[in-house]
Structure formats: C-alpha cells, structure tokens
Structure 1
Amino acid sequence: MSTPTTTTTTLPPKYTDSPLPLIPTPKFLTGKTDSFTIEASHMALSHNAFIRGFNTVYQQAPRVKSPSDKIDFAGYCLAWADCVYAHHHYEETEFFPNLDKAAGQKGLMDGAVHEHEAFQGGLNKFKEYLEENLTEWESKELIGIMDEFKDALHGHLRDEPGMIVELGRYSTVERPIDILGIAEAAGKKQVNLSFMFNTLPVFFLNMETIEFEGGMWHGVFPPLNGLAKAVMLKGVPMWHSGRWRFVSCTPEGTLKDLAV
C-alpha cells in the first residue's frame, strides 16, 4: 500500500522591525503636547516609515528570485530611496531655511544636514546599483551596500526628532515660531503627480498605526481622512501595484506578511 504524498507550502513570514529598530515619538516619551514636540513626533513617525521600508528591502531581497519579481522589487527599492531623498531635500531647501528665518538665526539644523551627508553616498550607491541591474541584481550585493550606510542612516533618523524638540527654545513671545505651519507649507511643495504615483505609496504603506505606541497615532498621523485617505492608500497604489506588494503594512495600518 502506497503512502499518500503530502505537499507543504511555505508561506512568507510576517514583517518584523529588523535589522533597524523603530524610534519612539517625543510625545510618547514625555507626554508633552507643545508644537515642537508634536512636529518632532510627526518626524519620528515619518522616519519609522523609512525604517520599515529599509527593513522590508533587507528582509525580502534574499527571497526574490524570478525576473518579474526582481524588476518589481527594484522599482520598490528605488521608490524607497527616492522617498528618503525627497524628505531630506525638502528639509534642506524649505523646512530648515524657513526655521532659520523664523528664528532670526542661521544654521540651526546644520547638524542634521551633516548627518544627511554621512549616508547620502551609500544611498546613491544603492540606487545606482539597482538602476544598472534592474533584473540581475544580487541580494548579497544589495544587502552589502545597505550594510555600508545603515548605521549612519538609522543614527540620523533616531536623533533628528530630538533636534526639533530643542528648537523650541528659540520660539519666544516676541518672536514665536509656527513650526507646524512651516513644516506643512514646506511639505506641500514637494508633492506633484509623479511623486504621488511613483513614490508616496512606499511612505504611507510602511506606516503601522494600530499597535505602535498603543495606537495613539491611528487616525491622527498621517493626516488623511475620508476620500483623501481612500485615494492615497487604496487608489494610488493600484498604479505600479507590483511594486507596492513589498510594503510592510496594509492600507488599514496593520503589519502584514512579506510578499515573498
């Protein structure tokens, strides 16, 4: 009598916050609700989306095998790199200069700019490698490049929110700094249709809000509601959907299984 053959299917594992750990928000750590703490917390949440994006690449790269998956994954990786670059470009060209102007001082965030420089070369190398090897990149080489800049990147993402909190001392009754308004105005200048469809999903869909810090940011940040939320989290990702399957989170803000 023959023994029945059983087939086992290995499902992809669930995303985990590694190798880079998430960073806490200043509001969660201190309970403060002043505008500088809130803006610093928004920055920390944004940085955590970049961290989860990094981790999704790091965890999934060794599992991507087919040429079609490789080109989708390369597109995802490049979108992540472009999102990080756009964030720091917005800071250096709009956010930081306008903070200096409001405070009447120069170079308040020069430390953050120097931190950008510390990992920018590695990020450029990451992008160049993928652009030159869209379907032939090797996970060992890709992760090796990521290892070269991951500590400098994470150190910056961890430290910058605290720098924002410290700027509160420059805001006085005589010269108040509307840091939330400055950040909002600067951010709006970075978004265009190309960025929205080709890059933004890697930001919004790497933002877990259900469990992080007890869910205190769910429905609060990112500030999307109603139709805008549906468009950004479900409509826009239909474009280049092959790329966005590699994200860490569902549109509802929960962690999901890896794509491969």
Structure 2
Amino acid sequence: MALAHNGIIRGLNSIYLQAPNLPANDTVVARDFLIYCQCWSESMHHHHDAEEEIFFPEIENVTNVKGVMEQNVEQHRAFTPGFDKFYDYCKTCSPKDYDGAKLRSLVQDFAEALVKHLHDEIETLRALDKYDSKRVKQAYGRLEKSLMETDNYRIAPLVFGTADRKYEDGIHNFPAVPFFVPYIINYVFGMRYRGVWRFNPCTSWRDCRELAYA
C-alpha cells in the first residue's frame, strides 16, 4: 500500500510542479496536461472507492472491530471537496482557457489533507499486525485485484509512470509484473493518449526522469 501511495504523491507532485510552466497558448500541451490531471484523479478516486467498498469492510470482518477503519473514511471526506473541485476544473476547462496558477491553487486546497491521509493510513495498516495476518493479506489481495479492474488506457501508463523501481535501492518490484509488461504499457496502452504521458515523472519502465515542464 505504501508503494501505491508513493505513486499517488509522485503524480500529484508532477502536476503541481508542471502546472504553471506549460508553454503559453499551446492548446495541445494544455489539453494533454488536463487529461493527465483527469487520469490521476480517476486513479485516486478508484483507489479510495475500492478501499471503502471492498477493503475496509473486510478488515472490519477480520478484526471484528466495528469502525476500525473509520478514521480513514473520515480523512477521505476531509479532502474530497477540494479534490472534487480540482477534478471538475480538469474535466470542464477548455485548453485555450487553461490557467496554471488556478490549477495549482486548486491542488493546494486539498493536497495537505490528502498527503496526511496517505501517510496516516499506512500506520493504521501497520497496527493490524496483531490480527490474523493471512486474512489481512487476503483482503489486501482482493483490493489489489479490484484496483486492476480499470481503464488500462488511462490508468496503467500513469501507474507505471509514477512508480520508481529504484526506490529503496530497488528492493521492491512494484507493480509486481513480468519483465514484458512495461513494453505492453508503453507500446499498447500508452499509445491512445501518447502525449499525456510526457508529464509522468518516470518512464513506463519505472525509471525516474526529469519533468518535462518543471
């Protein structure tokens, strides 16, 4: 879960850092960046919906503690209003009207609450070590399976493009996939929105790179 959260934060950082630096009057770049922001928002929305609908109820069953994940749900609610405004802007803004300062201010309205939640949730999960670890892992496995049921053309290139395979000296293989999958991500799923993925902080092979418009 921590690795998934790291990817969410990397994506958010890439949005925040690049938002004010897009070339003026370039509607193609603005269009692609707005789609990038939409994809990031959709990925995060899917992540938190799956937690609330699948993972959290299963953890309640494992622990037999009603509301054991309620703090996390409350934190979701804390950043949702600002996040929704950001997502609405990205969906409705015409590329010719793109305003980097406006978009960045919308990020600022929810980013602190979101990042706090992403860190706090890891501590909540660590506290589950006193329960049946096998059942907790099974619940997380079902969450992971649900997270994979998404639009691969809009989400898969983002997930791989915000994953750093050298994080902590490369001890993690995240996402855990066979060696050929990044090729599929790059040359199949990445093609439909090819211009969008220029804003990713990493390549499809999960190697960090310089931001295109930082």
1:103 to 1:198, Cα distance in 2 relative to 1, 3 A: same
CA contact (8 A) 1:53 1:80 kept: yes
Match of 2:79 in 1: 119
Q: Please give the alpha-carbon distance, in whole angstroms, between the structure 2 residues aligned to 1:88 and 1:51.
A: 14
CA contact (8 A) 2:157 2:204 kept: no
Q: What is the letter of the counterpart of residue 161 of structure 2?
A: L
Match of 1:56 in 2: 14
TM-score by length of 1: 0.76
1:139 pairs, out of 100, 103, 107, with 100
CA contact (8 A) 1:80 1:202 kept: yes
Shift of 1:228: 3.2
Bigger-Rg structure (1/2): 1
CA contact (8 A) 1:209 1:254 kept: yes
Q: Please give the alpha-carbon distance, in whole angstroms, between the structure 2 residues aligned to 1:133 and 1:90.
A: 28
CA contact (8 A) 2:62 2:131 kept: no
Shift of 1:128: 0.8
1:247 pairs, out of 181, 188, 200, with 200
- Greater helix fraction, Structure 1 or Structure 2: 2
Equivalent pairs, count: 210
Shift of 1:112: 0.7
Q: Please give the alpha-carbon distance, in whole angstroms, between the structure 2 residues aligned to 1:86 and 1:139.
A: 25
Deviations 1:108-163 (A, max 9, x none): 11111111111111110001112221311201111111111111011011111111
Q: Please give the alpha-carbon distance, in whole angstroms, between the structure 1 residues aligned to 2:147 and 2:175.
A: 16
Match of 2:37 in 1: 77
Shift of 1:234: 4.4
Match of 2:148 in 1: 191
> SS where residue 197 of structure 1 aligns?
coil
Q: Please give the alpha-carbon distance, in whole angstroms, between the structure 2 residues aligned to 1:213 and 1:45.
A: 11
> Which blocks of at least 5 consecutive residues in structure 1 are unaligned?
1-42
TM-score by length of 2: 0.91
Aligned pairs for 1:177-188 within 5 A: 177-188=134-145
CA contact (8 A) 1:99 1:182 kept: yes
Match of 1:35 in 2: none
Deviations 1:84-114 (A, max 9, x none): 1111001000011111112223211111111
Q: Please give the alpha-carbon distance, in whole angstroms, between the structure 1 residues aligned to 2:181 and 2:209.
A: 23
Q: Please give the alpha-carbon distance, in whole angstroms, between the structure 2 residues aligned to 1:55 and 1:151.
A: 12
Shift of 1:258: 1.7
Q: Which of 95-104 and 231-240 deviates more?
A: 231-240
1:233 to 1:156, Cα distance in 2 relative to 1, 3 A: farther
Shift of 1:243: 0.8
Match of 1:100 in 2: 60
Q: Please give the alpha-carbon distance, in whole angstroms, between the structure 1 residues aligned to 2:179 and 2:206.
A: 15
> Which blocks of at least 5 consecutive residues in structure 2 are unaligned?
none
Q: What is the letter of the counterpart of residue 215 of structure 1?
A: G
Q: Please give the alpha-carbon distance, in whole angstroms, between the structure 1 residues aligned to 2:56 and 2:200.
A: 30
